[in-house]
Amino acid sequence: MEFARASSVFNAMEPIVVSFFEEHILPNYPLKCGCDKCTTDIIVLTLNHLKPQYTSTQAGQAYIKALYMNPQMQSDILQELTRSLQIVESKPQHAPAE
């Protein structure tokens, strides 16, 4: 059986995590390093620790976004972002600035 890609498959958690990072982390926690590599690592590490929510439609994406209006689910995202931030700041994967 072959997987037909008539429509794209999308992890709806990605824009949710990015939005939470931009709205809750950046304004409230000064980052030791705000380079693209470190911020991307924080987001990717967070996504790797949260359950993915795949969809192939805009309606599915809207439904998943609505699920994450739940305060407990929002808290879970913020906890993972905070953990990821601490990990990346303690062990950055970029070359040190000269």
Quick: pLDDT tens for 30-57: 888 889 999 999 999 999 999 999 999 9
Task: Check whether 62 has a pLDDT greater than 60.
Answer: yes
Looking at residues 5-22, what average pLDDT do you find?
87
Cα separation of 66 and 52, whole Å? Answer: 15
Residue 18, class by beta-carbon neighbours within 10 Å (0-12 exposed, 13-18 middle, 19+ buried)?
middle
Q: What mean pLDDT comes out for the span 73-98? A: 87
Looking at the chain, which runs of residues are DSSP E strands?
10-11, 54-55
Per-residue burial over 21-46, b if 16 or more Cβ lie within 10 Å, else e, is beeebeeeeeeeeeeeebbebbbebb
